[in-house]
Structure 1
Amino acid sequence: MRSVFVHRDERPREQVPMTPMIDIVFLLLIFFVCASAGQIRESVLATELAAGGEASEELPDREPPLLGQLWLHLRREADERTIVEFNNPQYGQAFDDFDRLRGRLLELAAVAREMPVILEIAPDVPMGDMIRVYDICRQADFETIQFAAEMPGLPESRG
């Protein structure tokens, strides 16, 4: 009769240390999170999906968003009024009334809030008026509001 022989392996099984692999995965995760942090969010995609399995025959007409930059030039008049001028006449003329300016900026933001707003402020404009125009732009919900600054040694350029 044969005896049943159970083979016991006294050597420990070779194990792969997990700690270095976990460290590498963690570092890759941090890398991809940091690399994607500076990406521009795409908010204007003209895509409307049909519900269910229905095929859509007619695509909705969408007006293309206004491109370019909206420059607001703030200057001081001789009668101590602050005037705000747009860089493009189709956006409006010069405004000396902040309520009318607010209305125009709300209309523009409703159409293209991704359009960057750049404030160019003359040196004699009071700080309060500059902050008021900045606040109006924030209330209109523009995505980007920037301040124009001259770089020494370069010629002046306007948008």
Structure 2
Amino acid sequence: MIRTLRNDEPVPASAPSRYLSDAGYVRLRWWVGPDRYVEAYEHRIVMDRPAGEVHHRNGDKTDNRPDNLVVLSKEDHAALHVQQNRAAGKYRGKARDRERAARAAAREQRWTAIAADYSAGMSTTDLGSAYGLDCSNISRGLRARGYTLRTPAEGRWGVAS
């Protein structure tokens, strides 16, 4: 069993194992008994498990030197990251929403063109080649938008041969 080291617990005296978390932070793990381990983030241990959040000044989540770490309140930490993201052109607020809306509009415009070409007689195979999609994705996309697909017997123009 692995659990997180509580703030009211002393740090175990034994040497910990070091692991990289999925988020890229270094996790320390101590053996405390048969099949029992405790873990904590290394940067929090280095800063004596503060009440606030620990920020990596250089952005490297594995650089846990004390001079690279600073303790901030939750609000100040969030504001700092917003400021850094804006400076790097990665602000994820309204700009992200506008980008998503633009992508959705472009996607719908593309499907309108695909549907028009299908109605004009192009086959799903031809549409797949023209738009760089698999013909099965063309079929699913058209059905999802309410189109009834022609059967092979109906031919290109929807008229039985």
**TM-score, normalization by structure 1:** 0.23
Structure showing greater radius of gyration is 1
Which structure has greater strand proportion?
2
Which structure has greater helix proportion?
2
Higher RCO (C-alpha under 8 Å, 6+ residues apart):
1
